[in-house]
């Protein structure tokens, strides 16, 4: 130690090393003091950035001062070289030989590799077989991907061989018993690292071989960006890994740091200038590329990148400048590792997203037996694909973002995964995915079975009652599954659902007491459905309203009346349900004839009218039995009333009524049977002797009119017509009084 301190140069180097380690010592002592005092050290990202910035500025000022002193010493002719540099001329000559041998070997190997690149480029341009072409989607075929990877491997092999040549030359010039010089090993290592980085750049742009280019772009664009990036990589790599260490070894650390600062500042200004000048051009090209993207996900990412790409580039080069001055030794390795990890994470994320898109873009096909039993299951499963794809893409995006932050030391991914919070978060995500999977599976099976039955794809078409009950059960199952899923998910993310369930019970009890009418509606509706009291499209009379049932829920029924009015009736208001569409119906007609007519003759004509009705091709299939005429049901001041009963299919009683009334009127007209008018008694008065004045009545008969046969005088107001078959059809009277309605699945609640 005494000998080192006596030498001025070694003393200055020792001081430089102590200054380099000073921030670490200060941080350690500060941490120890804060721990001893009971406080917690602030290790957050803003605090680390502030400390690094402060250290960067302090070190920059110190280096500038030391560099000024060293330059002044050099101007005065003082020797400022490091220890062991007496033979620096020999070292520099050997260093130059290693550089020349490595560069010449690399040029020769690149010329040889160019032939291989040409062959691979030609192979990549060949069209794949038709069978293969049908299996591939998009411009990036497997053949092109294989060609790009093969070209990269060849390029890396050429770089490795050139590095091996340089290392062999370094060993030969060092002698049989000597080790490779520091400068020689620095250059060879820097050469391999920098040229591999350039090889990755050439993989993206491939200026000479367009088919080996990773992305489609014009040749002039590829040439421009390839030259710019390779220039940046070369300046930063060789400058920080070779030039700065050589200056530091030959002169002082302060001059080396100053040289590194100048190199990085020049590179930074040049890079920012190029980025800012091309910001609009790159934005337009990214937006154009997004307009032809295969999926909306990639299009959104490209549009977002088009807006912020120049900001990200400026931040990247700014971080590179700062890190290179804060820690010159580890700056470039850190940036290389962070950049490589970010690029690999993004590439893998895009690859996973593309694979998911390729897999899920094709519809899922079930077996023929499954499609026969559950024809709607396949369509329902395929309806989940877009949401599943979005969820998987979101998870992929989050994972890629975490890996990128971990690469830049903004987030310690491995420590977080091993921590309790990380394990808990991953466990929660997995549990949530499993819960959603089982919930979707349960709902898919239940809904597919119910909808398959409702669609009538089985051996027997569902009845109206089955449709109503199945629709109600489907909605009830959906409510139960959604409620249970939400409660389980809340419990998984750490929310105590015990008070929630207890509170829901109390609220339900309060609602039950305050909404007794609602409870009565629901209970009555359940029993009406179970007892098959009414179904959609039934013609019923409920709650004093007569019409067609349009909609039924578990609480109310919607009835459409003949005037078009829609009546919503709660089931608690329904005391009696009169269903006119159950099993069979009756046309019950009561027809009144005049007192002077013969009842037996009228009944015969009623049967004759029914016989003609049975000849109708449209109405006769709707009649179930022969006509029933119970007889005279009333004798009053208007006449004699005869009842008729005709049994029909459900809902066809009104059509039969219209058809029978038309035929009966025709037969009564032909037979001269009077349907009585209202009667009025005219009183002419009388004198006190009981004599009435004579009535002057002019019957208005013409002399040429013949008198009707005895007993066959026509009724007043009636015109006798011969009996003939009606020419008009009966389609105009077919159907119910009210129009039926086909409900859809949204009508059931």
Residue 631, H or E segment:
strand 628-635
What confidence score (pLDDT) does residue 48 get?
59
Q: How far is CA 181 from CA 15, 166, 246, 332, 333, in A?
A: 25, 12, 12, 22, 21
- Smallest CA-to-CA distance from 91 within 187, 181, 185 is with 181
Report the SS3 class of residue 249: helix
Structure tokens at 444: 């898919």
More confident residue, 222 or 680: 222
**pLDDT, average across residues 469-483:** 82
Widest Cα–Cα separation across the chain: 176
Mean pLDDT (whole number) for 106-117: 90
Q: DSSP readout, 142-194? A: HHHHHHHHHHHHHHHHHHHHHHHHHHHHHHHHH-SSSPPPHHHHHHHHHHHHH
Q: Which is higher by pLDDT, 421 or 369?
A: 421
pLDDT score of 135: 44
Give the E-state strand segments of 280-405 in sequence order: none
- Angle in degrees, 0-180, between the axes of helices 420-454 and 464-492, rounded to the nearest 10: 180
Reply yes or no on whether the pLDDT at 542 is more than 60: yes
Lowest-pLDDT choice from 272-281, 361-370, 543-552:
361-370
pLDDT score at 25 = 38
Q: Are strands 628-635 and 577-579 parallel, antiparallel or unpaired?
A: unpaired
Q: State mean pLDDT over 57-79.
A: 58
pLDDT at 39: 42
pLDDT of residue 34: 42
Do the beta carbons of residue 167 and residue 180 sit within 8 Å?
yes
Q: The tokens of 47 are what?
A: 């605090």
pLDDT of amino acid 590 = 92
- Top-confidence residue, 40 or 123: 123
Q: Which of 179-183, 343-347, 525-529, 686-690 is predicted least confidently?
A: 179-183
For residues 132 and 493, the model is more confident at 493
Q: When comparing pLDDT for 721 and 749, which is higher?
A: 721
**pLDDT value at 644 more than 80:** yes
In this predicted structure, the answer to whether residue 12 has a pLDDT above a threshold of 80 is no
Higher per-residue confidence, 109 vs 696: 109
- pLDDT band, very low/low/confident/very high, at 229 (cuts 50, 70, 90): confident
Instruction: Let me know: does 73 contact 258? Beta carbons within 8 Å.
Output: no
> Where residue 521 falls among pLDDT bands split at 50, 70, 90?
confident
Domains along the chain with CATH numbers: 84-216 (no CATH), 371-516 (1.10.287), 521-580 (2.30.30.60), 585-677+715-733 (3.30.70.100)
Q: How far is CA 700 from CA 72, 112, 624, 681, 706, in A?
A: 153, 133, 51, 21, 13
pLDDT of 646 over the 90 cut: yes
- In the numeric block, the tokens 């520099």 are attached to 92
* Residues 618, 729 contacting (CB under 8 angstroms): yes
What average pLDDT is seen over the chain? 77
Taking 80 as the threshold, does the pLDDT of residue 677 lie above it?
Answer: no
More confident residue, 121 or 668: 668
Nearest one of 646, 655, 641 to 603, comparing CA atoms: 641
Higher pLDDT, 111 or 41: 111
Residue 690 burial (CB count, 10 A): 6
What mean pLDDT is predicted for residues 209-229? 83
pLDDT single digits (tens) 87-99? 567 777 888 888 8
Calculate what percentage of the chain has a pLDDT beyond 90: 9
Residue 81 above 90 pLDDT?
Answer: no
pLDDT number for residue 83: 43
Higher-pLDDT residue of 31 and 112 is 112
Mean pLDDT for the stretch of residues 210-226: 82
386 compared with 588, residue with greater pLDDT:
588
Could you read off the pLDDT of 130-172 as tens digits, one per residue?
Answer: 554 444 444 445 677 788 888 889 989 999 999 898 888 888 8
Which residues lie across from 585 on neighbouring strands?
A: 648
Q: What is the pLDDT of residue 503?
A: 75
Higher per-residue pLDDT: 282 or 65: 282
- Alpha-carbon gap, residue 184 to 408, rounded angstroms: 31
570 vs 24, residue with greater confidence: 570
pLDDT of residue 700: 53
Residue 271 has pLDDT above 80, yes or no: yes
Which residues contact residue 360 at a Cβ distance below 8 angstroms, ignoring those fewer than 6 apart?
A: 385, 388, 389
Of the candidate ranges 9-18, 278-287, 463-472, 608-617, the one whose mean pLDDT is the lowest: 9-18
Residue 607 has pLDDT above 90, yes or no: yes
Give the confidence band of 85 by pLDDT, cuts at 50, 70, 90.
Answer: very low
H or E, element range at 638 = none
pLDDT at position 41 is: 47
- Which 3-state string (H, E, C) describes 375-400? CCHHHHHHHCHHHHHHHHHHHHHHHH
Q: What is the pLDDT of residue 456?
A: 63
Comparison of pLDDT for 718 and 23, the residue scoring more: 718
DSSP-derived 3-state class of residue 600: helix
Q: What is the pLDDT of residue 602?
A: 92
Split at pLDDT 50, 70, 90, the class of 657 is very high
The pLDDT, as a whole number, for residue 605 is: 92
Mean pLDDT of 617-633: 90
């Amino acid at each position: 130690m005494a000998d080192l301190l006596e030498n001025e140069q070694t003393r200055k180097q020792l001081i430089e090393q102590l200054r380099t380690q000073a921030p670490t010592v200060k941080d350690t002592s500060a941490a120890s003091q804060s721990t001893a005092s009971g406080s917690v050290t602030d290790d957050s990202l803003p605090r680390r950035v502030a400390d690094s910035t402060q250290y960067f500025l302090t070190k920059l000022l110190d280096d500038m001062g030391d560099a000024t002193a060293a330059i002044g010493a050099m101007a005065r002719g003082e020797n400022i070289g490091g220890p062991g540099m007496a033979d620096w001329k020999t070292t520099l000559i050997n260093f130059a030989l290693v550089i020349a041998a490595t560069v010449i070997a690399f040029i020769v190997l690149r010329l040889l590799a160019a032939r291989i690149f040409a062959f691979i480029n030609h192979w990549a341009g060949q069209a794949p077989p038709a069978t293969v072409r049908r299996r591939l989607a998009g411009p990036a075929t497997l053949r092109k991907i294989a060609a790009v990877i093969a070209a990269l491997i060849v390029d890396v092999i050429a770089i490795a061989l050139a590095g091996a040549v340089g290392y062999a030359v370094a060993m030969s010039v060092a002698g049989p018993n000597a080790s490779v010089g520091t400068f020689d090993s620095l250059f060879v290592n820097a050469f391999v690292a920098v040229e591999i980085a350039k090889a990755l750049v050439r993989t993206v742009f491939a200026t000479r071989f367009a088919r080996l280019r990773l992305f489609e772009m014009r040749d002039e664009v590829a040439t421009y960006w390839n030259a710019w990036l390779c220039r940046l990589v070369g300046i930063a790599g060789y400058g920080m890994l070779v030039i700065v260490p050589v200056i530091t070894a030959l002169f002082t650390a302060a001059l080396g740091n100053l040289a590194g600062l100048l190199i990085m500042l020049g590179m930074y200004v040049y890079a920012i200038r190029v980025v800012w000048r091309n910001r609009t051009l790159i934005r337009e090209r990214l937006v154009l590329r997004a307009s032809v993207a295969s999926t909306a996900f990639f299009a959104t990412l490209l549009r977002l990148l088009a807006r912020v790409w120049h900001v990200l580039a400026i931040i990247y080069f700014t971080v590179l400048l700062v890190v290179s001055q804060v820690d010159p030794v580890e700056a470039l390795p850190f940036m290389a590792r962070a950049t490589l990890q970010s690029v690999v994470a993004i590439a893998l994320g895009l690859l996973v997203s593309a694979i998911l898109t390729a897999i899920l873009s094709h519809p899922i096909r079930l077996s023929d037996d499954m499609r026969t039993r559950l024809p709607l299951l396949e369509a329902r499963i395929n309806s989940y694909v877009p949401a599943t794809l979005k969820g998987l893409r979101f998870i992929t995006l989050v994972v890629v973002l975490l890996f990128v932050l971990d690469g830049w030391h903004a987030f310690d991914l491995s420590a977080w995964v091993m921590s309790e919070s990380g394990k808990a978060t991953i466990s929660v995500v997995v549990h949530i995915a499993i819960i959603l999977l089982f919930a979707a599976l349960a709902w898919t099976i239940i809904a597919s079975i119910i909808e398959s039955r409702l669609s009538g794809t089985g051996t027997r078409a569902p009845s109206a009652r089955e449709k109503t009950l199945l629709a109600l059960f489907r909605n009830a199952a959906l409510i139960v599954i959604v409620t249970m899923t939400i409660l389980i998910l809340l419990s998984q993310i750490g929310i105590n659902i015990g008070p929630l369930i207890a509170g829901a019970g109390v609220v339900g009890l309060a609602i039950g007491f305050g909404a007794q009418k609602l409870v009565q509606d629901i209970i009555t509706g359940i029993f009406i459905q179970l007892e098959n009291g009414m179904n959609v499209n039934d013609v019923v009379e409920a709650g004093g309203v007569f019409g067609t049932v349009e909609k039924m829920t578990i609480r109310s029924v919607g009835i459409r009346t003949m005037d078009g009015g829609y009546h919503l009736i709660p089931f608690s208001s329904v005391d009696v349900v009169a269903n006119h569409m159950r099993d069979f119906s009756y046309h019950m007609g009561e027809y009144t004839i005049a007192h002077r007519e013969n009842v037996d003759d009228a009944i015969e004509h009623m049967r004759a009218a029914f016989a003609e009705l049975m000849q109708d091709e449209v109405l006769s299939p709707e009649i179930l039995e022969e006509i029933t005429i119970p007889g005279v049901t009333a004798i009053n001041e208007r006449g004699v009333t005869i009842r008729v009963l005709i049994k029909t299919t459900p809902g066809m009683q009104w059509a039969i009524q219209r058809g029978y009334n038309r035929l009966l009127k025709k037969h009564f007209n032909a037979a001269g049977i009077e349907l009585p008018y209202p009667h009025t008694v005219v009183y002419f008065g009388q004198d006190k002797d009981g004599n009435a004045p004579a009535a002057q009545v002019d019957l208005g008969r013409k002399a040429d009119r013949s008198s009707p046969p005895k007993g066959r005088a026509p009724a007043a107001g009636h015109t006798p017509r011969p009996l003939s078959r009606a020419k008009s059809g009966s389609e105009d009277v077919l159907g119910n009084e009210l129009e039926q309605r086909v409900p859809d699945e949204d009508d059931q609640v």
